[in-house]
Amino acid sequence: MPIRLGDKGVVALSELALGKIETFYGADQTFITQTVGTVAQLPDGRMWEMVSPPQKEGALLGSISEGLLQASADGNAFSDWSLFQPAEAGPPGSNFEVPTYFGRGSGGWVSKVVDPPHNSSTAAPVGNGNEYRFFSTDFSTAIVQPFGDFTQLSPEATESTSYLRTLYLNGNPGEPCVSGCYKPLVSPANVSLSAKFGEEPDLTGAAYLAAQNANPFGSLVALYIVAQDPVSGTLIKVAGEVKPDPVTGQLVSTFKNTPQLPFEDLKLHFFGGSRAPLNTPAFCGSYTTSSSIAPWSGNPPAEPSSEIQILQGPNGTPCASPLPFSPSLTAGSTNIQTGAFSPFTMTMSREDGQQNLQSVQLHMPPGLLGTLATVKLCGEAEANAGTCGPESLIGETIVSVGLGGTPFSVKGGRVYITGPYHGAPYGLSIVNPAKAGPFDLSQVIVRAKIEVDPITAALTVTTDSSGPYAIPQILDGIPLQIKHINVTINRPNFTFNPTNCAPTAITGSLTSNQGVVGALSVPFQVTNCAVLVFKPLFKVSTAGKTSRAKGASLDVKLSYPKAPWGTSANIKSVKVDLPKQLPSVDL
């Protein structure tokens, strides 16, 4: 079994012999020694041979006495510390042991001497060559485990800690690593605390969100768990189907036919913060994650579970049950000139940790109206299907969903005016695209009725509170967590302001999915009423040759002279005094 150490996934040379003179069988018999008397040698006089099945090409090492050897399980590399080279400092003829690497490439076996670090002042080697315990197959990295009374290879190294040392930079043997070469293998910063020298440590990877429908399950949500060893190139990829409950949104993930590989821990960490894919439950308390883990042996599955505790609300707020509901509303004309055509915009908001929005009712101030002369009312069938034409389009929407300070905003919503709806003379069909990131859930249609006050002509807009055209809470098992809804009525020459400059208000209420009603009021006022012209025309006539018995006819005509839109004040009231010569008929 290859030894894997460190969060970089270094594959160590695993078949190990320490000064042994015997036949040694590793994986695929990758390393063989033979003994003749007290001297280890092969029949042709060689003492050590590296064999790479099936080619059986050997590597000559010469005489080895007390060497420390390692060989890779695939038979293509090994290393030893038996070779000597002259010391650059010290008495003439002195030498020291150096680790040497042997690898079999396409051109045969090659060797490479790896110098241990040297003291800059004396040029003497620092530490002992045997402190290099394991090497990666490309010899770019080594495992260092200090021992004995030797000078440590790095100030950080201790006898009880193993280190990963980079021997050269950027994969280039011509660039030896000078500083920042050591990294501890056992620390909370890089590997699990359970990883010890000589054990199987963590092999890191990533979890990826699969493309909608274009995954092995054809499902809305799926996961890929991927881990790759950068040295050996071993790639592990497991696909899992994720099924959201259409009512509660609970996620059930299923990974079938996983590889039959032993492992100690599988840890999945999903990112937190503003881009977190998960959110905690709405209420404080204990929540259980259950599992069913089936073995390849065919025995019954194990069903372990784990609990999490939710102890506070968003941003450290106290726990609350029921959740609060204090939505906010901003609304008004973007141009406050009296009598002028102006876009009208409205934004409804709720904060994290509050009840979700279910329905809206808004009362417009008298005089804030829309003209129907340039629009076509959309039919009922088209309104319900979200297929109204551009001749009925009067505005657009932006809906922000999700938690945190930067929720995802879905743009491109459309607002259409319709014919009679739910007993009102007019209605709205609000069509919002259900697209967020990689997900496309088609569109959401919300319907509303527009009532007209028979006395003041003031408008009241009310969205459906239930049924298929109400504001949705969950879509295909994905909780929407609607945070902001912006509606802008911006069809040219459609919405116009009142000609009353007295302070009024846009009032209404927002209702939560738990039935709580939040009453809202936003001040509304237009300006410059003094510049409006008010010269209405009033004409009354009656037919001649009338009698008391048969009465008299009466024609009344009230009109405005032709003038640019928004330059004349609207009529507030009309009082008519008939002449005494035209009394009412006695009844």
Q: What angle do CA 284, 290, 296 make, to 5 degrees?
A: 165
Q: Is 273 helix (H, G, I), strand (E, B) or coil?
A: helix
155 vs 2, which has greater pLDDT? 155
The amino acid at 128? N
Q: Is 384 helix (H, G, I), strand (E, B) or coil?
A: helix
* Tokens found for residue 233: 């190139």
213 vs 234, which has greater pLDDT? 213
DSSP 531-579: G-B---EEEEE--SS-BTTTB---EEEEE-----TTSBPPP--------
- Cis status, amide bond into 54, omega within 30 of 0: yes
Q: 73-84 burial, b if ≥16 CB within 10 A, otherwise e?
A: bbbbbbbbbbbe
Lowest mean pLDDT among 226-240, 473-487, 523-537: 226-240
The helix (run of H) or strand (run of E) holding residue 415 is strand 408-418
pLDDT reported for residue 449: 98
Domain segments of the chain as ranges? 4-184, 205-316, 328-529, 533-587
544 vs 418, which has greater pLDDT? 418
Element counts in the chain: helices (H) and strands (E):
1, 40
DSSP 24-58: ---GGG-EEE-EETTEE--TTS-SEEE--TTTT--
283 vs 549, which has greater pLDDT? 283
pLDDT class for 393, splitting at 50, 70, 90? Answer: very high
Determine phi and psi for 384, rounding to 5 degrees: -70, -30
pLDDT reported for residue 451: 98
pLDDT tens per residue across span 116-174: 555 445 555 555 555 665 555 555 666 666 655 544 555 555 555 566 666 666 656 66
264 vs 396, which has greater pLDDT? 396
Cα distances (Å, whole numbers) of residue 289 to 256, 284, 286, 309: 19, 15, 10, 11
* Residue 370 in this model has a pLDDT that exceeds 90: yes
Residue 51 near residue 45 (C-beta atoms within 8 A): no
Tell me the sheet residues that pair with 101: 79, 112
Lowest mean pLDDT among 150-154, 427-431, 435-439, 473-477: 150-154
Distance in angstroms (rounded) separating the CA atoms of residues 490 and 480: 26
pLDDT tens per residue across span 242-275: 999 999 999 999 999 888 776 667 888 888 877 7
Question: Is the whole-model pTM more than 0.75?
Answer: no
pLDDT reported for residue 508: 94
Distance in angstroms (rounded) separating the CA atoms of residues 4 and 14: 9
515 vs 172, which has greater pLDDT? 515
235 vs 229, which has greater pLDDT? 235
DSSP 440-491: EEEEEEEEEEEEE-TTT--EEEEE-SSSTTSPPSEETTEE--EEEEEEEE--
The amino acid at 209? L
pLDDT reported for residue 406: 85
The CATH fold assigned to 328-529 is: Immunoglobulin-like (2.60.40)
Distance in angstroms (rounded) separating the CA atoms of residues 172 and 375: 72
Lowest mean pLDDT among 118-127, 325-334, 433-442, 533-542: 118-127
pLDDT tens per residue across span 33-46: 433 333 444 444 44
